A and B are shown apart, each in its own frame.
Chain A
Amino acid sequence: MRTVLWAFGLLVLLFLLLPILVVIPLSFSAGSFLTYPLPGLSLRWYDAFFASDFWLPALRNSLVVGTASAALATLFGVPAAFGLWQKRVPGRRLILAVILAPMAVPAIVVAVALLLAFGPRGLANTFTGLILAHAMLGVPFVVITVLASLARFEPVLLRAASACGAGPWRGFFRICLPRIMPGVAAGAVFAFATSLDETVVVLFLAGPAQRTLPRQMFSGLNDEISLAIMAAATLMVLLSALLLGAVAWLRRPVR
């Protein structure tokens, strides 16, 4: 029974991992075919990646949009989470529903709605518009993660601080924030990863100057699958692994 479970479980894991792992060696191929066996190893597709007019700007745009939207989401999300942590807020459920809505509304609906709202206001095809959109998509992750951290925080510490004469702001920044900092950072990483992964809204809302990696990959896949795309994919897997590592490290049990 146990062996059957292990065999089946490992097969499923293989199904999860193999497609990603299979692609990585391909990007080091010396040939140009998308299959094995490799005719030899080379870095030519990475050269193509870095020499192209498209990929490097796309990488830069992804990092810029990801960082800015994560910062914005954190800036607005952390105070909101702190506010929501106080259970007696009127209309808490409704507020939470609004804040979490960007997670549940299908991306295509968000994309078209924002295109029509941003277009006449000159925000479509701008970094500002894209960053705002991604910040809204990332903010639920910040709020959820920070709320989870706050759940482990003892409110009695804040009362103690206020008894010692510290105002609410001082109490938050000196007592609470340091303790929930890993949660805040993990939330920011989640928001960054959301932006990095996002394809549909970018497809509708970004102009050629704002093309991100997923957008460039989408048009590349539509146009012609080349191994340069696999080089980009490999870099994105690497980036994802780094982010995963960062979150794992932030959420490690602290003793």
Chain B
Amino acid sequence: MTSRRTALLLIAPLLVGLLVGFVAPIGAFLWRAIADDEVAAVLPRTLAALRGWDGATPPDGAFVALAEDLREARAQDAATGAGGIARAAARLNAEWPGMRSLLPATGRRVTTPGEERAKILSASAEWDTGAPWRAIRSAGGPFTAYRLLATLDLRRDAAGDIVPTPEEQRIWRGILLRTLWISLSATLLCLLLGYPLAWLIATAPARAQPWLLGAVLLPFWTSLIVRTAAWMVLLQKEGIVNAALLRLGLLDAPLPLLMNRFAVLVAMVHILLPFMVLPIAAALRSMDPALPRAAASLGAGRLRIFLRVLLPLSLPGVGAGCLLVFIQALGFYVTPALLGGPNDQMLAWFIGFHANRLVDWGMAAALSVLLLGAVALVIGLYGRLVGFDRVRTA
């Protein structure tokens, strides 16, 4: 047995386990971003009847097919709870607004056979136009880019060109920008607060160092949910911060400190700060203390030493810190959910909302592609600019 084979055998159980238990589930989930099978699963006869249709007046056969499809799907849903009609309706709504309610409502009208056309038209006269039928046809699958486009507030118009979505439906670019903006602000604030602290730790007397480091490590090890809870208590309307400010006479009336962007940012900076301090402190500590002295002996001033010697040498730590803080901030879920208002929620919250509340796993997947893409981009950029060999964390 060669050592190379032994090595592979040792790695294999974990690697296979992660491929099966981690990579495959995530891949299967992300796949749903482009899979387009909701409508085909529920309306196969209708899709068949629409094959070769000119797109103008709906063909007569389509009404009968739709009624049969909906009857069968209703029975299927009632028997298994699969929710096929609701999901198909949600998908069709993206092609033609109004379908979300219209499809289930139409299903309720055609529970018995016969007079299909009249019954369907009794749900809405729109069925007499081409629009809902064209929506069904274009959502027939098997793949679609509409969700990925939708995450950028884009859609295809009737001619197939990519155009912006209507003004009142445009939300995702704003949410993406909000996510990036909150993450960037948190990173910069962490750097601003963290660099001097790291400097202090690295240059403190040996006696003080373990205490200073311990004071960073204790919050670092404390659970995220505990720290979020602490901020909830501190920032309440009648909480400790407001009470202190009132007593100091800085305020006349308590400020609303919770359920807003401020609360989210403060708590995020608090939670992420150790990830900034520790790598910078490690980089500064591993520096040769003779260097600044040598520079000084050559006549360089303090500022010059800092800018020309110390800062460049600590950059790998700064880079690692920023990377760690930024990619973690991008995925924050719990803290904004508990401390923020509805327009402080980040991408992660909307992924959960689509998965858990709207049962729109396709859209959750598309948003996940966006989020993972952002994370991968940052990591890739970092690899290009700094390289991974120089990352050291304390």
Contact = CB atoms under 8 A, between A and B. Distances in A.
A116 B236 contact: no
Interface string A101-127: 110111111111111111000000000
B118 interface: no
A5 B196 CA distance: 7
Interface string B1-42: 101101111110111011101111110111000000000000
Contact of A101 (B23, B233, B364): B23
Given A12-B194, A80-B11, A113-B29, A101 B232 contact: no
B197 interface: yes
B226 A217 contact: yes
A109 B212 contact: no
Contacts of A13: 197, 212, 215-216
Given A35-B239, A115-B355, A117-B28, A84 B11 contact: yes
Contacts of B232: 221, 225
A165 interface: no
A240 interface: yes
Interface stretch (B73-81, B87-95, B140-148, B325-333): B325-333
Interface string A67-88: 0000000001101101110101
A177 interface: no
Contacts of B331: 106-109
A5 B204 CA distance: 11
A164 to B, nearest CB: 17
A237 B226 contact: yes
Contact of A237 (B13, B30, B222, B379): B222
Contacts of A95: 11, 15
Interface residues of B, number: 80
B110 interface: no
B218 A109 contact: no
A109 B223 contact: no
A252 B331 CA distance: 33
Nearest to B233: A34
A70 B341 CA distance: 36
Interface string A203-244: 010000000011001100110010001100100110011011
Contacts of B361: 112, 116
Interface in B348-382: 348-349, 351-352, 355-356, 361, 364, 368, 371-372, 375, 379
Interface stretch (A17-25, A39-47, A48-56, A180-188): A17-25
Contact of B28 (A101, A113, A248): A113
B17 A76 contact: yes
A68 to B, nearest CB: 15
B391 to A, nearest CB: 11
Given A23-B233, A108-B348, A80 B219 contact: no
Contact of B7 (A9, A83, A248): A83
Contacts of B273: 12, 15-16
B170 interface: no
A118 B221 CA distance: 29
Given A110-B26, A136-B21, A99 B14 contact: yes
B14 A20 contact: no
A79 B9 CA distance: 9
Nearest to B228: A221
A233 B238 CA distance: 20
Contacts of B4: 86, 88-90
B230 A22 contact: yes
A196 interface: yes
Contacts of A236: 222-223, 226
Interface in B290-331: 302, 327, 330-331
B202 to A, nearest CB: 11
Contacts of A139: 14, 18
A173 interface: no
A12 B281 CA distance: 14
B240 interface: yes
A178 interface: no
B259 to A, nearest CB: 13
Nearest to B274: A16
Contacts of A33: 238
B156 interface: no
A80 B221 contact: no
Contact of B196 (A8, A107, A132): A8
Given A90-B4, A193-B221, A221-B228, 6 more contacts: A9-B197, A26-B233, A106-B330, A106-B371, A117-B25, A244-B221
Interface of A: 1, 5-6, 8-10, 12-13, 15-17, 19-20, 22-23, 26, 33-36, 76-77, 79-80, 82-84, 86, 88-90, 95, 98-99, 101-102, 104-118, 132, 136, 139, 143, 168, 193, 196-197, 199-200, 204, 213-214, 217-218, 221-222, 225, 229-230, 233, 236-237, 240-241, 243-244, 248
5 contacts: A5-B196, A23-B229, A23-B230, A88-B7, A233-B229
